Structure 1
Amino acid sequence: MTTTIARLQRLILTLWVGAMWAVGYLVVPVLFSALNNPVLAGSLAGELFANVAWLGLVCGAALLVLQHARGHALPLPRVTVICILAMLVLTAVGQFVIDPIIAGIKAEAGPAGAMASALKDRFAMWHGIASVLYLCQSLLGAFAVWRAAVPGADTPARSAA
């Protein structure tokens, strides 16, 4: 049963991190390069990032529930669980703190977009903060996937006596 839970956890973690990478580093750059309308590209990117955030919150919660369900027989290494917790916190801050601030700036700026308004600097600052948080999540996710791929990576090697 522990092996099944461990595999399910790795699958869920890979789904979450893969979605982050695909959207953040493949899809969104293509949107901005392919569309001649940066406001539309930004709007679509915002929707994609929101979807990835909700996916992350669900996946992160599921990973922790599965981890807790096993008690002391922990399928994921401790460092991976710490990465997952950090990713969850960053996702929640992005989704529930930073995204509403950015949405408020966009609403205040009007249809021309925040980058074409007097709010450009404020928007750029919050967008930059959101980008750094996303990069941190991506790096934590890469490390978590790397560590989760090796069963027992957190346990010290036992010497044969």
Structure 2
Amino acid sequence: MIQNRRFCTLAAGLWWGSLSTLGFFVVPMLFAHLQPVAVAGGMAARLFSGQTWISVVCAMLLIVASRGRGRAQEDGAAAPQDYGWIALVLAGLLLALLSEFAVAPRIVARENLRLWHSVGTGLYVVQWACAGLCFWRLLRPSSNPPPSQPA
């Protein structure tokens, strides 16, 4: 269980960290230093597309690795906090896919650019928050710590 938790923490950290680095550092630097703006926008679109697939892989790894998290209860039902954790992962996954397949094509086509850029930014920030909350929850000490070993 501890190895599984470490793996989940690593996947959530990679997800949140990659979103943070790309969205809050790399893309703003592109627009600040790469001219014309259309070139920076094209490169940003490629980077965000790559980020979508990092998000999908991390979310799928979290879902697969968390399959046994709720099995500690006697009746086999998952604890409520486990459902909340999975809901965050699924929400982040859905937001990544919506951004890639519903919003990004409209931005690339320059269709109502202000609206779709705002929607894309909102989806990205909420996905970032979902990944961050997952990571934060995994960093918290477990409510059922392993028993201490005799000396």
Would you call these one fold, judging by a TM-score over 0.5? Answer: yes
Q: Which position in structure 2 is the counterpart of 1:148?
A: 138
Q: 8 Å contact 1:56–1:91 — kept in the other structure?
A: yes
Q: Which position in structure 2 is the counterpart of 1:135?
A: 125
1:84 aligns to 2:89 (yes or no) = yes
Distance 1:96 1:36 in 2: 27
Deviation at 1:144, TM superposition (A): 1.7
Q: Which position in structure 1 is the counterpart of 2:148?
A: none
Deviation at 1:71, TM superposition (A): 5.6
The normalised TM-score by structure 2 is 0.82
Q: Deviations over 1:21-68 (max 9, x none)?
A: 000000000010011210011111111111110110011011101111
Deviation at 1:93, TM superposition (A): 0.9
Q: Which position in structure 2 is the counterpart of 1:61?
A: 60
Distance 2:86 2:142 in 1: 13
- Residue identity over aligned pairs, in percent, reads 29
List structure 1 segments (4+ residues) > 6 angstroms apart after TM superposition. none
Distance 2:61 2:132 in 1: 18
Q: 8 Å contact 1:98–1:130 — kept in the other structure?
A: yes
Distance 1:59 1:23 in 2: 16
Q: 8 Å contact 1:90–1:137 — kept in the other structure?
A: yes
Which blocks of at least 5 consecutive residues in structure 1 are unaligned?
107-118, 156-161
Deviation at 1:69, TM superposition (A): 4.8
Q: Which position in structure 1 is the counterpart of 2:149?
A: none
Equivalenced residues, count? 136
Q: Which position in structure 2 is the counterpart of 1:48?
A: 47
Deviation at 1:124, TM superposition (A): 1.2
Deviation at 1:151, TM superposition (A): 3.2
Which blocks of at least 5 consecutive residues in structure 2 are unaligned?
73-77, 145-151
